[in-house]
Chain A
Amino acid sequence: MPRHLQREINNLRQKILTLSTVVEESVYLSVKSFMERDADLAAKIINKDQEVDLIEIEVEEECLKILALHQPVAVDLRYIIAALKLNNDLERIGDMAVKIAERTVNISRHNVQEVPIDFSSMAEKVKLMLKKSLDALVHMNSELAKEVCIADDEVDELHRNTYMVVKNQLSAHPEHISVLLDFLSVSGCLERIADHTTNIAEDIIYMIEGEIIRHSKIREKC
């Protein structure tokens, strides 16, 4: 590879890893803040979102620069295209972490009710999916990325369960509507994080193997 392109791609890789680290930490802390009803911690996460947004723009500009100046092909082209897409997903995951933090701030204003919803299993699964997808990115490991895609269905199922519990609770305790909707919102955020994480895993598979596996069931039917 020409040395200047190699330098640009290394630089881009470094920026993506920085963004990944910041986003992963935001998700981890936002879940912690919600579980512990820690509004101070939640406020820090909300403030940190600006950093995520700025890195996202930097990554996008780097990708556009490389495309315009180097016209990469084959594995280099796939890397840049996947980087552009997963950059967007990482930023959206950062937004979901902020949303969870905002729900924390909201819920901490109320007297915390005993709500029979346990997010710990769902949160652990989502954090593991995110960790695996980022490990897959660092080590360019498509097998790890495939494990992430499979795990998404489990998170969807957990979100559906939460929805049913919240629905029943709303009937039984309509006075707790605000808190219950916060719980449902957080469940939805975790489910969206899992979806974005799955997108990242699919992009990594494309990057490594050159195969677009997204919507493969629909495409098989066509």
Chain B
Amino acid sequence: MVDSVIVNTDFNKANSVLDLNSVNKVSVSNLNFYYGAAQALFDISMDIPQGLVTAFIGPSGCGKSTFLRTLNRMNDIIDNTYIEGKVLIDGQDIYGSETDVVALRKKVGMVFQKSNPFPKSIFDNIAYGPRIYGIKNRDQLNETVEKSLIRAGLWDEVKDRLNKSAIDLSGGQQQRLCIARALAVDPEILLMDEPASALDPKATARIEDLIGELRGDYTIIIVTHNMQQAARVSDFTAFFYEGNLVEFGDTKRIFTKPKIKQTEDYITGRFG
């Protein structure tokens, strides 16, 4: 078991050109999560800063993806789950009775491990969200699709075949398409659950570069099994183990001088 939880949002020391005294976008306090009788998360408290990249690392089954999904209530769709504690986004309790879950998921976009383009054209994939939110005007849709694909670094590769099926894109392109689709509804937070784990090194590098480009405009939270990736792309890193948040702090410090031995054992491969 974990001896202690360090919640060290040591923003001033982060290696960043952004304003590191930025406000917290997400504030989680005393969060417990249960799959039926099995408790998956134990008393998690952490503040996630706005406009920066926060990585969640930890062994399989440690609760990092479960925790990620609590941030846009994706766990609601799983039967027999139960949550305690508070998750505030911009100060609003997302588990409060007045929360509109659809609006929440517009604000908190998500990209999954396996790219999941709809069996539609590239254009329709990106325009899907905006259409649901009521945008019918063709010019407006064109603009949104182009802007989203440019932001996702995919425009130059697909601009001449927007009406072709998204399924025909390569794995890396499909994943960037999914990111573009998430961006099309103008989210403020992007949750990424192992977004590059199924991609080759070149496609992975594109995704990592993209995270760097989106940083600043979006609050990005990424779950990854690739610790080098967490070290490369994130400003802050949180290490989870057996449902506990063991250590949270400046990525540079976590990967050079972690405070908790369990973190050091995990990142250096001495675990177990």
Contact = CB atoms under 8 A, between A and B. Distances in A.
Interface of A: 1-2, 5, 71-78, 210
20 contacts: A1-B268, A1-B270, A2-B269, A71-B228, A72-B268, A73-B227, A73-B231, A73-B256, A73-B267, A73-B268, A74-B255, A74-B256, A74-B264, A74-B267, A74-B268, A75-B268, A77-B255, A77-B256, A78-B256, A78-B257
A73 B268 CA distance: 6
A71 B268 CA distance: 10
Contacts, number: 29
Given A72-B268, A75-B268, 9 more contacts: A1-B270, A5-B269, A73-B231, A73-B255, A74-B257, A74-B258, A74-B264, A74-B267, A77-B256
Nearest to B271: A1
A1 B270 CA distance: 4
B228 A75 contact: no
Most buried by B among A5, A75, A76: A75
B269 A75 contact: no
Complex A-B, nearest 7 residue pairs according to Cβ-Cβ distance, in ascending order: A210-B257, A73-B255, A2-B269, A1-B270, A74-B264, A73-B267, A1-B269
A78 B231 CA distance: 16
A71 B231 CA distance: 11
A76 B264 CA distance: 10
The secondary structure that dominates the B interface is helix
Interface residues of B, number: 12
A75 B256 CA distance: 7
A73 B252 CA distance: 10
Contacts of A76: 268
Interface string B159-197: 000000000000000000000000000000000000000
A77 to B, nearest CB: 6
B195 to A, nearest CB: 20
Contacts of A210: 256-257
Nearest to B259: A210
A204 B231 CA distance: 24
Interface string B230-261: 01000000000000000000000001111000
A73 B227 CA distance: 10
A2 B267 CA distance: 11
Nearest to B267: A73
Most buried by B among A2, A74, A75, A78: A74
A76 B265 CA distance: 11
A72 B270 CA distance: 12
Most buried by B among A71, A73, A78: A73
Interface string B198-230: 000000000000000000000000000001100
Contacts of A72: 268
A1 B255 CA distance: 15
Interface in B128-175: none
